[in-house]
Amino acid sequence: MGVGLCWPRSANAPAPRRVLALAERYSAERLEHACERALAFDDAKYATIKNILANDLDKVAVAPLAPAPTYHQGRFAFARQAAEYASALLGGAP
């Protein structure tokens, strides 16, 4: 069972026995999905994995993160248009 290797070794990595015990209550497949979800949010703590399983979040797809601002032709792109700032400064609705 590859479930024991679902998180990177770090200071906040959970004890393997506690995580593996969750497979007895739920299933190895669900535990694997919960570990993948926890890693997607960079939070592989035992409590996080347990909460994902308890709330059936392992069955919900993880939404992709918004792309980072792009570096285009030697300059950075702004996240908002200038009109949004102008209307906010002049008291208009955005």
| Residue ranges of domains in the chain | 2-59
Contact 44, 8 (CB under 8 A): yes
Question: pLDDT tens for residues 13-54?
Answer: 557 788 889 999 999 999 999 999 999 888 889 999 999 999
30 vs 76, residue with greater confidence:
30
Here the tokens at position 13 are 């990595």
How far apart, in Å, are the Cα atoms of 78 and each of 4, 32, 64, 74, 81? 43, 39, 21, 13, 7
Count of CB atoms within 10 A of residue 7's CB? 21
pTM: 0.56
The pLDDT mean for the chain works out to 78
Give me 87's structure tokens: 């209307």
How many residues does this entry show for the chain? Answer: 94
